[in-house]
A and B are shown apart, each in its own frame.
Chain A
Amino acid sequence: MSSNFLNIRASQARWIILLSYLVALAFDTIALLGHSSPVVPPLTLFFVLYWCANFLDRTHLFSAFILGLLSDALYQTPLGSHALLFSIFTFLMIRHRLRFKTYPVWQQAFFIGIYMLAYQVLNYLFFTPVLDSNDFVQYWTMPAASIMAWPVLAYSLRRISHSAADS
């Protein structure tokens, strides 16, 4: 099964990838409704990074750019700012995705945690959010939340991808 997964191409799972992006955007939108949104990792970026690491025949930079633009519209930030952040992190993933793919999930989660810490630092520099003490803690806890969320996401998407490869 796993060898089958290694051989599938992005085009074979195109609809799953598109659907996953829609779901991720919906989750990011739901997160905006709550008061605890700073602690929730950006799921759209998560999904792009996952597909980028697992489907090696595409760069996924176009997806990252478009999803970044949609995130700009969602978060009411200057157009292109999230697109730039998403493109940078997708590019970083492309640079070492062959190695990343061979890591066990817990190690991947650790790397994603570092990615998300860098993302939060850039986010802070770009948008300079006004954070009260509660939000400040939540904001900088996001990388830790990402470490916990990644295995769940990786496992779920792996299962879905397997189904796509088998069918």
Chain B
Amino acid sequence: MHFVIAFILSIALMAADHYSHFMGNVRSVLLTTINPIEQIATLPKQIYLLATTDFTNINALKVENQQLKTELLLVKAKQQQFANLQLEVSRLESLLGTAGKMNAQSLQIATVTFYSNNPLSQYLTLDKGQIKKVAIQQTVIDSEGIMGQIVSTTPTSSRVLLITDPDHQIPVRIQRTGQRGILSGTGHDTTQLGFIPKNSLVEIGDLLESSGLGNVFPAGYPVAVVTQIEDKAGNPYLEITATPIAELHQSHKVLILSQANPYLNFDEDLSESQNKKDEGNAHVQ
């Protein structure tokens, strides 16, 4: 009798999870339960890193600090240029009579607390959750490119499905030619670019960036680089392998982008970003 109940309940749960979004709260409760165990699981690695870190090398830390300060200065200078360029684009757009709107993304910095390398599922756990207003489908990037999207949240953490996960797909375009396609994960730290016909001009080394179709991922962020192109007989499309640009398993600090809102006014957003600076949230345009 117990088995029959467990069997029926399992099937019902699977159906509910697959066909509806009602199970988000159940998953959130389960993830909250799992969180402390994930913390415990990372302890041996943390202890190992702590034991192998050289505490005495203050000089190296000073040099690193100096380098980081220099890099920060350069990035700030570039950001100023970027802001000027955006203003310029906005002015040109208004001159041309096109809609003078810009994409605006507010960013939140989060720390990776756990990750999965399993071929079945590739994900990261972040230390920011519902309390910090992290929501499902938000895009996560690192300094190089798109890493994935938030698929579940708990009050204090969130889970990011990486672009290499077999269940993950992201609409992209080839930066050089503008050709659109769908990039799917393989589960082995690589991705496959689908729906690219054989007469396409794709080349090894081409950069794939998010196309913004579907309104889940913001457009224009780098995603992967084409590393292999196979032309198999009987297949109308090319088989293209691409390697993610983001450092999926090395990044410790990542950025969570807010939901893409293509209709935010550029000027309004500038003042908003100024306010958010005080709250510790970086805000870029």
Chain A interface residues toward B at CB < 8 A: 22, 25-26, 29-30, 32-35, 37-38, 59, 61-62, 64-65, 68-70, 72-81, 83-84, 87-88, 90-91, 94, 127, 129-132, 135
Contacts and interface: CB of A to CB of B under 8 A. Distances in A.
Interface stretch (B68-76, B85-93, B111-119, B239-247): B111-119
Interface stretch (B7-15, B203-211, B256-264): B7-15
Given A70-B30, A72-B30, A75-B120, A80 B37 contact: no
B118 A32 contact: yes
Contacts of B37: 22, 25-26, 29
B40 A26 contact: yes
Contacts of A81: 10, 14
A108 B121 CA distance: 31
Interface of B: 2-3, 6-7, 9-14, 16-18, 23, 26-27, 30-31, 33-34, 37-38, 40-42, 44-45, 114-121, 123, 151, 159, 161, 165-166, 186-188
Given A37-B118, A84-B14, 8 more contacts: A64-B6, A65-B10, A68-B10, A70-B33, A73-B31, A76-B116, A80-B12, A81-B10
B10 A38 contact: no
Given A62-B2, A84-B14, A75 B115 contact: no
B121 A77 contact: yes
Nearest to A74: B34
Among the interface residues A59, A64, A80, which one has the most CB atoms of the partner chain B within 10 A? A80
List the 8 shortest-distance A-B pairs measured between CB atoms, nearest first.
A80-B13, A84-B10, A73-B30, A29-B41, A76-B121, A87-B6, A80-B14, A80-B10
A65 B123 CA distance: 24
B121 A37 contact: no
A70 B26 CA distance: 11
A79 B23 CA distance: 8
Nearest to B31: A73
Given A30-B41, A33-B41, A129-B120, A73 B27 contact: yes
